[in-house]
Structure 1
């Protein structure tokens, strides 16, 4: 019979859960993980990774269609094979799922597949193919994640009204697509389908797209997406959505308060998430706010021995935040169990980067210019455009910029914001800088390699102090 007593049981195997389990195992704790669906959770199987595979296909299609801009000729028609694009994306997800399976075996983590329900702070039942198992542990980590929020008047049906999950494995290519919500998920799918040749309309309730980003980034992105052929409606709302035989009829109220009914072949709803905290047995064990489990800086809930991490806890709801929390919580548990070698540090939310993989890409960390002013900082901010960067011009990717925000009195880097080619790879330079509590002085003294797009990071720091060299 399989073991039923552990030091730690992790409920959920997404990027928070499986990383927490690995760290627990590394620290010598007897660890189990409970998963109802697929190891790797949403991120690996239905989120971050397979969407990047889809977006890469769209990017290659875009380059192929613009081959003449690079002095190249491609004979014959260039077209997308939707089935093959989706098949490649699913293959990438499968490879990573198998990778997590291997990591569980390598770290001797017991995997219990099935629906886990807490029966107390440190005990749970698992209903799976083997029937019902009763498991106990000294500590339990809840990492149950979240799911897409439905429109109250038009729940997703997988046929005409999609969530991100349906949008990743479409049965057919939309002809005219409505995307409701312009956060990272909405804008990435809008970008993918637009590049695949679909007529795309984005409706955003707030007054600008990607509303959590710096206002300059939002304005630049809206111009680029409009130029690419998208219809962007900000300060607008979908008041009603009716599914028909041919598609959906949407009643959209624009920013001037005028409502019109428009027909689309399909609709993607990307209006936020709902935590998976119902029917898990949490009701009397934890405090919740709108379904999100309330925790301290190390992941503790109000019940001794019960911890929570990731998307079922307060935001930002990002995979890398969940993974980081997983490590912190694992180390805090090891410390409680007597390990004197571990020194867990709470997560500093100011240093969590955000990335959106549309075309052009967006990446940021820290405070926007507006938020820095709101917080009472006297600031110095500077922007450097990619058009002043040799590598960006050589790549044919001269659309974009880097913006940095500093505290005028101390020189502390408060925030960095980028839009353009490969900025999701570059942002980590500023994240490291912020984590090391850098000022403009260290960044100015840093030697950036030439020719790279990253030189625009250096130039934006110089621009903040009126010292930019190439504009």
Structure 2
């Protein structure tokens, strides 16, 4: 007889394990099915380890410019690629173990293997088709394995994987996805990055800081395509000043492999072509939902362009089957998955819930300079018919930014001219990924410009620029 749970969650990434913990808090008997690593891509191969790599790059950057801070350094700064990668992997391993501890603490069972939904209410788990990716992340002790399990509620939280372009299939040696880019045997001296979204730009920024010659190829006219055009343009200017080469409105049409290099044929929007040779190529052209081999097709679960269709509360068209996170569609962000999971399980419990407002989900890119945003861009706001008031404040007008040696950047705010509603906020510069949450809170509280103008921001802080940007939108800016 199948072991029975109230809730089974397929996938132990940020969405899955957070949902499981919340389910346990609500009194559900809960299990998580995982085939590779607790914490998912984000913790093991995405959000967390990339930030560890970028932190190493940031410190290396400062080491290269000690004179800017009145400091001296004995000899030339250097780095050990193996040690940089090891630190990143150790950070992931530590947090991976933490997820296991949290699930155990909350009495959530972990079932190790591949899940297949045989029918609503039943999940068959088979042995994983491949072992855990990380040597330091073996199959946890004491977890359950192969078998048939029953649950009234089954939540699919299987995440996504890198998209593969025909003719540019990753081989693990010359053509990389973010998996290989995160743990190279040696750092390449030259690199081509296809795609200028968050993943592509973060790796481009990391490897450029570590000394590689980097070329980014973006098919759209604007890099960081989801960002405000003004912010993206400023970021591009900084990247190019650092020596990064950017080819926008261009696409890679062919890749040829050498013994230890790749040669890419690149076509611009006018049809002209050029070839570029580099030691390695990173394909960062988005992700694909992991919805195959779960039994969804046989159950009649509705899909749309590869993702699972839900009602905004996690429910699919098949009673008892739910979906959260990347598999439920964009934005494909860990924090979206976590909150989506909480909404889903609280809906199952019968609590009062409402669908997430995706315009209030912040996006962050941890390149140098950092980029962060929430809400509508200026162009989108105008497209939607708003009359807007736009405020801007440059980092060079802020005392803390100058003291930090970070005078390049911009904070931009967009308001509805009629109501004072904050429609969007966009930033580029030092630590903006930490600042953006202030505007997120303001938007969730339906704050208008009046409340923001009268809010007191501490001095000296970078956050003062957020205040000044609001003031600027209404003709009251002080420090420029």
Structure-2-length-normalised TM-score: 0.95
* Matches for 1:125-274 after TM superposition, within 5 Å: 125-128=124-127, 132-274=146-288
Aligned to 2:139: none
* Matches for 1:313-328 after TM superposition, within 5 Å: 313-328=328-343
Aligned to 1:288: 303
Contact 2:376 2:423 in 1 (8 A): yes
Separation in 2, partners of 1:120, 1:353:
36
Separation in 2, partners of 1:427, 1:288:
33
1:394-433, CA deviations, whole angstroms, 9 ceiling, x for partnerless residues? 0000110100000000000000000000000000000000
Report how far residue 121 of structure 1 moved: 2.1
Indicate the larger mover: 71-80 or 188-197. 71-80
Report how far residue 244 of structure 1 moved: 1.4
Contact 2:153 2:321 in 1 (8 A): yes
Separation in 1, partners of 2:77, 2:268:
36
Matched residue of 1:53: which SS? helix
Matched, 1:405 2:404: no
Separation in 1, partners of 2:68, 2:462:
20
1:361-389, CA deviations, whole angstroms, 9 ceiling, x for partnerless residues? 00000000000000000000011000000
Matched, 1:8 2:23: no
1:105-152, CA deviations, whole angstroms, 9 ceiling, x for partnerless residues? 100001001111110122111112776300010100000000000121
Aligned to 2:111: 112
* Matches for 1:369-408 after TM superposition, within 5 Å: 369-408=378-417
Matched residue of 1:34: which SS? strand
1:9-34, CA deviations, whole angstroms, 9 ceiling, x for partnerless residues? 00001110001100000000000000
Indicate the larger mover: 254-263 or 17-26. 254-263
Separation in 2, partners of 1:116, 1:251:
41
* Matches for 1:18-167 after TM superposition, within 5 Å: 18-128=17-127, 132-167=146-181
Matched residue of 1:225: which SS? helix
Out of 289, 298, 309, the residue aligned to residue 313 of structure 2 is 298
Indicate the larger mover: 37-46 or 343-352. 343-352
> How many aligned residue pairs are there?
464
Contact 1:154 1:242 in 2 (8 A): no
Matched residue of 2:319: which SS? coil
Separation in 2, partners of 1:435, 1:126:
40
1:84-122, CA deviations, whole angstroms, 9 ceiling, x for partnerless residues? 000000000000000000001100001001111110122
Q: CA RMSD in A?
A: 1.1
5+ residue gaps, structure 2, are 129-143
Report how far residue 204 of structure 1 moved: 0.4
Separation in 2, partners of 1:77, 1:366:
44
Matched, 1:446 2:461: no
Separation in 1, partners of 2:127, 2:166:
31
5+ residue gaps, structure 1, are 336-341
Report how far residue 77 of structure 1 moved: 1.8
Separation in 2, partners of 1:420, 1:121:
49
Out of 356, 362, 369, the residue aligned to residue 360 of structure 1 is 369
Separation in 2, partners of 1:166, 1:60:
23
Matched residue of 2:296: which SS? coil
Separation in 2, partners of 1:122, 1:65:
58
Contact 2:112 2:145 in 1 (8 A): no
Aligned to 1:338: none
Separation in 2, partners of 1:246, 1:147:
26
Out of 295, 298, 308, the residue aligned to residue 323 of structure 2 is 308
Separation in 1, partners of 2:342, 2:145:
31
Separation in 2, partners of 1:396, 1:92:
28
